[in-house]
Copies of this chain bind each other. A is one copy, B any other.
Amino acid sequence: MTTAKETSEPLRILDAAIDALAEYGYANCSMQRIADHAEVDKRMLHYYFGDRNGLTVQIAERVGDRLLAGFTSAIEGLSGPREIAAAGFESLWENVVAEPRLHAVHLGLVSAAVTDDSLRAQVARIRDRYSEVILQLAERGRKAGLELRLNDETLVGLILAGLNGLTVDYLQRGETEELTQSLAEFQSWLMQLARPLADA
């Protein structure tokens, strides 16, 4: 109770856990390592989160929060149709570059979720939250006069697939020349799919 607004201990641990996951990878990140990373006794993890699954669920939740926090704050101010269309995906991507470790952890969760049912639900939740925000943006775009050539779900699917695919490339090989160009191409394609009415 040293400062007035102190983030809660569980939250601090979760962020440390995410960092540990980024450090060692999902497969090699034991509770001991997370505890060490958070400078907490290993049993406190059980105290706060119950068991390993409870911790993982909370980690996934926190990952979702942080992934979305970066995105939502970035697109809050956008208003004009062009701006919305152009900046939407850009914001998504900037978040990847700003927090690559967070996205690496996300990728780890997504990958692990393929064979882990309890994780699957958590990962689906993150996708849903992404979806929700993207749809809100699309809605605002439409109101601002943007004509979207695709139905909502397909748009979300394409954007997230693009984001994920390019993120994998980024995490694998870093910021290459080709990636930058791929990004530009992908973005201009999205612009095509969502062009202001005036362009027609």
Q: Looking at the complex, which of A3-11, A66-74, A149-157 is the stretch in contact with chain B?
A: A149-157
Residue contact B158 to A182, C-beta cutoff 8 Å: yes
Residue contact A166 to B168, C-beta cutoff 8 Å: no
> How many angstroms between the C-alpha atoms of A22 and B112 in the bound complex?
10
Report the minimal beta-carbon distance from A107 to chain B, rounded to whole angstroms: 5
Residue contact A115 to B25, C-beta cutoff 8 Å: yes
Residue contact B107 to A114, C-beta cutoff 8 Å: yes
Report the minimal beta-carbon distance from A125 to chain B, rounded to whole angstroms: 12
Q: Which one of A120, A158, A185 has the greatest number of beta carbons of chain B within 10 Å?
A: A158
Which residue of the partner chain B has the closest CB to A170?
Answer: B161
- When distances are taken between beta carbons in the complex, the residues of chain B under 8 Å from A200 are none
Report the minimal beta-carbon distance from A187 to chain B, rounded to whole angstroms: 12
Given known contacts A161-B162, A165-B161, A178-B157, is B185 in contact with A114 (CB within 8 Å)? Answer: no
Given known contacts A151-B181, A182-B157, is B162 in contact with A113 (CB within 8 Å)? Answer: no
Which residues of A line the B interface, CB within 8 A? 22-28, 104, 107-108, 110-116, 120, 123-124, 127, 150-151, 153-154, 156-158, 160-166, 168-169, 171-173, 176-179, 181-182, 185-186, 189, 193
Subset of 5 A-B contacts with CB under 8 Å:
A25-B116, A150-B185, A157-B182, A161-B165, A189-B189
